[in-house]
Structure 1
């Protein structure tokens, strides 16, 4: 089996991390595993396994003939059988298939918000789905949406996974007191909903109890991040709420925290939750997307409605006040993730779905 993953960039987002994870994991399981970034490279490039064949297309515009022919040449030279196209990279995959009809395209939808969107908002995607051999989705809402709207009848749910093989760098030292750090791993953008967690932290006066909040993720220096910074300044929380930007040493960062938070108003299947689990963090999470399947409330984490500040406060306070609950939730979460979302289990399912 000869497969290439295609993704628009290698910036640290969920779909991008999964494309790298798949390419790395498959390099030990199949004859050929490749990875192509179409528009931009990024911090995840460092995490590509040496066994993975890598190409950067340097795509400059929607229809870039040079990039299409570079991709075509790569597919022919490496005898690629399957293009595994993540998110919006389906477009260039279809353009190259028009010149190589024998190639199979599998499209992977990571975009949780799509489940709320109309056919009209996705008309190009729906039309081009005629060229897909199969569709992979990261939660059951997206599975239902694809079955209802897409022109490709084969739709398969494939859970995300993370791997302990990722970078072991130890660069970032978190501020604050050990045992009282809350980490929020998400790029600073909609629909990640950082503000609800900042408000909960401030209203509960967690800083007065010695707690600190740490935001890890790309800062786009736009109105979204301006709002967060203004809130921090307004409430004089600069010594308690810290922004670190995009980081590569995620395992090391998480190992310094006690609680992990996710507050998105829309999600597919957040890799962040899996990463929290592997570092034994007690987790409070939004109940959207696949989150309420990964987390069973009160057993291996706590769920909340992301539109309800009172629910966020209630669940956060439970974990902050009860160290034994944090320990139990963290241990149970790690165990359930290892049993259900390990690399071995997911890659086995993926290879079967390729066939």
Structure 2
């Protein structure tokens, strides 16, 4: 089995992390594991296992035939029989399949705004799905949408999984007081709802001035980002909220924190919550996407309604004031994540599913 992951960039995001996670995990499981980045490299490149073959296409524009033929050459030279295309990279995968008809495409849907999928339409994706041998959805809502909207009969749900592989030597020392830090790992996008987090920080600052909030994620330098920093300044929270941008070593950061939050308005299955669990952090998160599948009960964390400031801030306050409960939730979440979202169990299912695809055994795409 020879599989290549394709992703448009390696900037720090959920789909990008999963492309790296799959490539790294498969490097120890199958004959050949590769990863191809089409448009842009990024921080996550440093997390790629040395046993993973890597190609950067540096694609220019939506249709770049020279990039397609560079990819074709790479696939043939490495005798690849499956392309695992993540998110919007499916288009590049389909273009190269038109020149290598026997190669199989698996499309991985990481769509994060799964609250109202009725509005999700894509003609190019629908047509491209005719060329997919299978589709992986990261939650049940996306699976049902794929079954009803796309033209592929082999749709499966695999949850995201976490890997603690990290080759970064970057050292990050957080601001604030040890034992009194709250962390949020989320790119600065509207659906992540940092507004709720900032308003919560204002309430917590007034009651517990020693506690601080630490935000990690990509700043797109857009109007949303500008509004957030203006709000922090207006509420005079510069000494309570610290923003660090994108980083390589999330694990090193989480080890220095005591409570983790995710105030999203919409989600798929956020890797951040799984990472929180990996590092035994108690979590306050909103009831969106598949979060309830991870925080299945009050023993694992606290779930609040989306965009409810009173509920969210009260939940954070509870974890601050109830130390034993806070620690117990973190340990319980850790056990649950290790049992249900481990790399080993999901990769095993994934490989079996790939082998079950029609005509997989006869696939000689490199010829």
> Structure 1-normalised TM-score?
0.97
Quote the Cα distance in structure 2 between the aligned partners of 1:279 and 1:144.
32
- How far apart are the structure 1 equivalents of 2:167 and 2:232? 31
Match of 1:81 in 2: 81
Higher relative contact order (CA 8 A, sep 6+): 2
Aligned residues: 355
Corresponding residue of 1:251: 251
Give the alignment of 1:1-355 within 5 angstroms.
1-114=1-114, 116-118=116-118, 121-167=121-167, 169-205=169-205, 208-355=208-355
Partners in 2 of 1:85 and 1:134 — Cα distance?
11
Could you tell me how far apart the structure 2 residues matched to 1:196 and 1:256 are?
23
The separation in 2 between residues aligned to 1:174 and 1:106, in whole angstroms, is 40
Decide whether aligned partners of structure 1 residues 84 and 316 sit closer, same or farther in structure 2, where only a CA change above 3 A counts. same
CA contact (8 A) 2:114 2:267 kept: no
**Mapped partners of 1:164, 1:229: distance in 2:** 31
TM-superposed deviation, 1:114? 4.9
Q: CA 1:206 to 1:136, structure 2 compared with 1: closer, same or farther past 3 Å?
A: farther
Instruction: Give the deviation of 1:206 after TM superposition.
Output: 5.2
SS at match of 1:93: helix
Deviations 1:130-184 (A, max 9, x none): 1100000101111111111110011111111111222353511110011110000
Q: What per-residue deviation string (whole Å, max 9, x for no partner) do you get for residues 20-77 of structure 1?
A: 0100110000000000000000011111111100000000100000110011111111
Please, which runs of 5 or more residues in structure 1 have no aligned partner?
none
Please report the TM-score for the alignment, with normalisation by the length of structure 2. Answer: 0.94
Residue 205 of structure 1 and its aligned partner are, at CA, apart by 3.2
The range that moved more, 42-51 or 121-130, is 121-130
Q: Is contact 1:191-1:266 (8 Å) kept?
A: yes
| d(CA) in 2 for partners of 1:112, 1:177 | 33
Deviation at 1:317, TM superposition (A): 1.6
Aligned-residue offset at 1:204: 3.6
The residue aligned with 2:363 is none
Q: Which moved more, 1:114-123 or 1:235-244?
A: 114-123
Q: Distance in 2 between matches of 1:75 and 1:107?
A: 17
1:7–1:89 Cα contact (<8 Å) kept: yes
Conserved? CA contact 1:129–1:152, under 8 Å: yes
Shift of 1:256: 0.3
User: Unpaired segments of 5 or more residues in structure 2?
Assistant: 356-367
Q: Distance in 2 between matches of 1:25 and 1:322?
A: 38
C-alpha deviation, 1:320, in angstroms: 1.5
RMSD over equivalenced CA pairs, Å: 1.3
Q: d(CA) in 2 for partners of 1:100 and 1:207?
A: 63
- Which is worse superposed, 178-187 or 220-229? 220-229
Report the secondary structure of 1:187's partner residue: coil
Shift of residue 265, structure 1, vs aligned partner: 1.2
| Alpha-carbon distance in 2 for matches of 1:114, 1:341 | 20
More displaced, 268-277 or 111-120? Answer: 111-120
CA deviations over 1:215-262 (Å, ceiling 9, x no partner): 101111111111111111111110110010111121110100001111
Q: Distance in 2 between matches of 1:161 and 1:194?
A: 25
C-alpha separation in 2, matches of 1:17 and 1:326: 28
Deviates more, 1:116-125 or 1:54-63: 116-125
Tell me by how many angstroms 1:209 deviates: 3.5
